[in-house]
Structure 1
């Protein structure tokens, strides 16, 4: 009876689905052929296949949901920005990149308070170019994508 307790307390999605489908297949084969040996082998053989399929499908669905939640979180972060902060983010979008150099910022009329505010929020960070020659500002990629999609809707 311990195996019944183990089956019903299972929390792994793939195993639960596989157990159900393999059990149904075993039952159908037993009813059709009235042979518990063939039914047991059918159940044992089909279980790993259904577990793999169910786990794969569940993982895909779970990843899509996480991606959707991340996009929604970025969209909400963008909506919460002040007008000055949005002006800075808009400069990144118009530049076509989530990275801008200090010289690009110095040549622009962007408000330094918006830059500092984004840094304090953790949305904007400083970095170096790959060659190590210039300092850059790096906008969080998800916020850049949210602002970029917002800008494309306006166009």
Structure 2
């Protein structure tokens, strides 16, 4: 039986050696798996950090887009207001131009009428001077010529006032 006992001890030592070898292999595998897991955790933290950065940048971009949209709306409002004011100013300018044309036409008509009255006054003055020159110096003739000239001046002044 001693040989059986020796075989058992040899078998037990062999199994212990196999278990130790298997244990060493499993420890290596476990260390490799632990390293891989730590690498994955680091990668996951990196990805999470990048995701947080992207989310932050996206939020900032949305805020800038909202600010730009608000600014664009304000600019559109200002442009609409300016367009309205421009239109109103154009209407006023056209009214002023029309008034200027009317005033210019009226001034030209007045100038022609005054020129006509001036011509009539000059003709009356020449007629008066002609009466004075043609009369031999009698008092009653001069008075009649003066009255005739005064009537012509009054008639011209009446037309100018009209």
Give the TM-score, by structure 1 length.
0.30
Larger Cα Rg: Structure 1 or Structure 2?
Answer: 2
Which of structures 1 and 2 has the larger relative contact order (alpha carbons within 8 angstroms, sep 6+)?
A: 1
Choose between structure 1 and 2: higher helix proportion: 2
Give the TM-score, by structure 2 length.
0.29
